[in-house]
Amino acid sequence: MQICFIGYLTTMLKGPAAFNYLKNAFANHFGSPSDALTSLPLTAQWISSIWHGKDQEWNEHKNSLLALTSDENPYQGHLPSAALRTAGSLMVKTNGNIVTSVPSAATNTGNQQPECNGERVDLLVRLRLLKLVSGISGITEESLPETLKLNLSRLRAVQAQIQKIIVISTSILVFRQILMSEQALVNPVEMESIVVRCGKEVLELLDRSEEAGVEEIVEIMSEFSRDGEEASNTNKLQARKAVMSWMSLQAGDTAFERISHAVYLATRGVVLAGNGPQGRKLAEMALRRMGAVDLSDRVVAAAEILVAVATV
């Protein structure tokens, strides 16, 4: 009897039913939304920290949506450094896909999620969650308001996923620049194929080891050459490692900051536009600037968790 009852609850608490259950349980525990300022002081303070920037973020998002409908690039006129411009211009359609062959730390919900229509509280919560997981410092329980403490592990997983996307995007950019400087590959399709394979290995490394750093990434990237064979020229290997050693994954580095911002824009597109076609297109546009459009599935999966947390 108990097994049947548990099976019945399992069926009921999936999809929209589970979402409604969480919303009702949240309201029963914390009270009416109209009393939020008094019943949720930490949450109110946490959300207010994004107040002054919300209008600019919302206007940028609306402009991006308008550009989508007019078939324009929403980032035209705001291109990043020459390195990012070069990476974006070299993107070609290939059969390789970094994302589908590597398990993601975030799980795709499979459900169509609502877009933000600009309602004040909804906009503030979504943007604040996005800012939280986009930060470099690790998320702790002390940094969360009372309404999000139960979501600590989920938010940490999203932050880890976004940081992986930034690292792999930086690696792809640097590796493509090295191949271009060597002028060893004239065919852009061949170059892109090697970049995708290299990116896949780096991504697998990051998924496999949380302690992997720049040295391990450089070691993988330095050994790729034509047809995936190891580079046999010792001088070339050392030259590659010397160039890649300049790769910085620290806040304050210009290239790293630009890549981080591009990933932020990609995630924001899905967080505000939902996980439908519009949100995905916004994510792809932002990632294409640095030649990392194959990571869009991971961005969408991470953003879906943020939207689910925000709308509860």
- DSSP-derived secondary structure for 108-167: ---S--PPP---HHHHHHHHHHHHHHHSSSPP-GGGS-TTTGGGHHHHHHHHHHHHHHHH
Kindly state the tokens that stand for 246: 């300049």
pLDDT digits (tens, 9 = 90+) for 99-158: 323 334 334 545 788 899 999 989 999 999 999 999 988 899 988 887 888 899 999 999
Say which residue the tokens 């896949």 belong to: 200
Phi, psi for 224 (deg, rounded to 5): -85, 140
Amino acid at 296: S
pLDDT value at residue 167: 87
For all residues of the chain together, what is the average pLDDT?
Answer: 75
Burial class (CB in 10 A: 0-12, 13-18, 19+), 173: buried
- The model carries a pTM of 0.73
pLDDT value at residue 257: 86
**Is residue 161 within 8 Å of 83, Cβ to Cβ?**
no
Average pLDDT over residues 262-282: 95
Average pLDDT over residues 68-78: 55
CA dihedral (180, 182, 183, 187) positive or negative: negative
**Does residue 12 surpass a pLDDT of 90?**
no
